[in-house]
Structure 1
């Protein structure tokens, strides 16, 4: 796995709903643009060789970078795989929906829940939203959020964008009652 590029995005929300946010809400995304290990091969029945070649390495690359970019303890997290037009959505899913990939992030973030994800196929510059949820309890409503991402020149047809997102808090100004109040 040789990334063509690595992109880091930081978003800080200082006001929401017409009011200042007491502590700016910070979200970080780190994305690696990699070659699709199955591109140009037609339908590949067994994806395990590509998974073994890429999943752990890209997870190990991205997990420490997104945590460092956030600069604060992770409270919510998510992931994405955006496949270029010469690939299948299954190619992205094969990389990010494995413990070989996700355990790097779970361990680094001290998390226990499954990572919410988006998978999509599209041309360079396609917009995608990465969903985030609380890292230890996916029912905590305040942490259900998403961040919009776009890389102007990726993915090329034979590439995959693999991304991780991290938030230091829930949504700014969240006011929903806990799920337990409806049960």
Structure 2
């Protein structure tokens, strides 16, 4: 088994932050119960700057991503309860201006992050995601969907996250999100109830 980092200090994390939104009302009507959606992210030094596009990203991702996944999910659960309370999840990476988009992908698009994040939260679905490159204090909107039934449309939701003072040009933001329920008033149907829709609808009767 490859060596993995045991602490955030070992992988040059500058800060870690958690944001929680509670939705009590939507569209003028109270939700059946308040929905919580949380995002937790770590800001760390980009370890691959100036290595060029041919450099392998795997070794450091294998070393650093598991502790990121573990620490991020532990903070999400502090606000949402245990894994049984989590119904939807998502992930994101934001790279500073001196890095490549692929540097963020090396953290979130590998099993070293995704499998750990999914297992702790009790999920089986592929994790939906957002990735970008940005200056400090930008914001991003990150999608979530159901942790075991990705096609369950009621759970398609997103959260906009402001990133104060991150990422610096030589940093990466690695983020995980989770929600304890669906959208407040879901009512757009699902695949089980959808009619058959093809290009034939343009042909008229």
TM-score by length of 2: 0.85
Matches within 5 A, 1:112-131: 112-131=124-143
The answer to which of 92-101 and 65-74 deviates more is 65-74
Matches within 5 A, 1:1-183: 1-71=11-81, 73-182=85-194, 183=196
Q: What is the rounded CA distance, in whole Å, between the counterparts of 1:44 and 1:172 in structure 2?
A: 46
List per-residue Cα deviations over 1:77-132 (Å, max 9, x = no partner).
00000000010000000110111111121111110001101110010012111110
Residue correspondences, number: 183
Unaligned runs of 5+ in 2: 1-10, 197-205
Unaligned runs of 5+ in 1: none
TM-score by length of 1: 0.95
Q: What is the rounded CA distance, in whole Å, between the counterparts of 2:120 and 2:106 in structure 1?
A: 21
1:63 Cα deviation from its structure 2 partner: 1.6
The answer to which of 45-54 and 166-175 deviates more is 45-54
Q: Secondary structure at the match of 1:57?
A: helix
2:4 corresponds to which residue? none
Q: Is the 8 A contact 1:82 1:161 kept in 2?
A: yes
List per-residue Cα deviations over 1:140-170 (Å, max 9, x = no partner).
0000000000111000001011111100001
Q: Which has the larger radius of gyration?
A: 2
Q: Secondary structure at the match of 2:192?
A: helix
List per-residue Cα deviations over 1:18-73 (Å, max 9, x = no partner).
11112111101111001111123333431112212321121122122112222361
